[in-house]
Amino acid sequence: MAKLAKKKAAARAAFEGKANLTVDEAVKLVKGAASAKFDETIEIAMNLGVDPRHADQMVRGVVQLPAGTGKDVRVAVFARGPKADEASAAGAEVVGAEDLLESIQGGKLDFDRVIATPDMMPLVGRLGKILGPRNLMPNPKVGTVTMDVAQAVAAAKGGEVQFKAEKAGVVHAGIGKVSFDADKIAQNVRAFVEAVNRAKPSGAKGTYVKKVSISSTMGPGVSIDVSDAVTAQ
């Protein structure tokens, strides 16, 4: 425990007085301070000048991270017949219809992404109270309500990340692992920021991107110079 406390104290000291760094500086700092015994996730948080309670200020989207997420994404697909076969062949862990509905209603939620063919949405809609709060509800805007289930499964497993603004206007996501090369993490940071920037809603007023920060699972966070994150490609 004492050793762990020392590591945390050292990490905090390394971050002391550091703010508004370039993407590359922030990545280097976060990577260098990570000391957990597991491969920590690099997490990004963006504070946006929106109030998601208003429909014209909701921020939602999807981004394909160039370096992937480093996470093994488990996918559930609502489909029947040939589309169910396509989903299984593409590597979906769980495929079904009424049986999958009952399984989820029974509390089985061992997946990270839910995809559905359009004809299944009346069925999936009955799970709104379970899937909605977990940001798992299929949505055509992010490509998870589709007839091309094989492509959707492949995208989910290939580094695609969904994002959605929470009540306070904060968007956050896991965008890689500490074990990634620094330049790979930086690529993912820039891709994520660019995607959120492109998703700027019509009702957003004033400054849209107020703050960008990254951290590792167990480490402190550091803010990134917004102009560097937004303009650097």
Question: DSSP character for 161?
Answer: E
What pLDDT is recorded for position 10? Answer: 63
How far apart are alpha carbons 43 and 65 in whole angstroms? 13
* Cβ atoms within 10 Å of 190's Cβ, excluding its own: 18
What pLDDT is recorded for position 212? Answer: 97
| Pairwise pLDDT comparison (175 vs 11), residue with the higher score | 175
Of 128, 157, 186, the residue that ends a domain is: 157
What pLDDT is recorded for position 1? Answer: 47
* Residue 31, domain member (yes or no): yes
CATH code of residue 151: 3.40.50.790
Mean pLDDT within 140-168: 94
What pLDDT is recorded for position 233? Answer: 44
| Mean pLDDT for the chain overall | 92
Mean pLDDT within 222-231: 88
The beta strand positions in 86-184, using DSSP E, are 94-96, 113-116, 160-164, 170-177
- Picking from 233, 64, 49, the residue whose alpha carbon sits closest to that of residue 163 is 64
3-class DSSP state for residue 8?
Answer: helix
Of 91, 122, 157, the residue that ends a domain is: 157
How far apart are alpha carbons 149 and 86 in whole angstroms? 7
What pLDDT is recorded for position 16? Answer: 72
pTM for this one? Answer: 0.84
Q: Which two tokens stand for residue 105?
A: 């209603």
pLDDT band, very low/low/confident/very high, at 19 (cuts 50, 70, 90): confident
CATH code of residue 55: 3.30.190.20
Backbone angles phi, psi at 121, to 5 degrees: -65, -35
Of 157, 179, 197, the residue that ends a domain is: 157
- Model confidence pLDDT, tens digit, residues 171-189: 999 999 999 999 999 999 9
Backbone angles phi, psi at 222, to 5 degrees: -140, 140
3-class DSSP state for residue 206?
Answer: coil
What pLDDT is recorded for position 25? Answer: 95
Buried b (16+ CB within 10 A) or exposed e, 139-175: beebbbbbeebbebbebbbebbbbbbbeeebbbbbbb
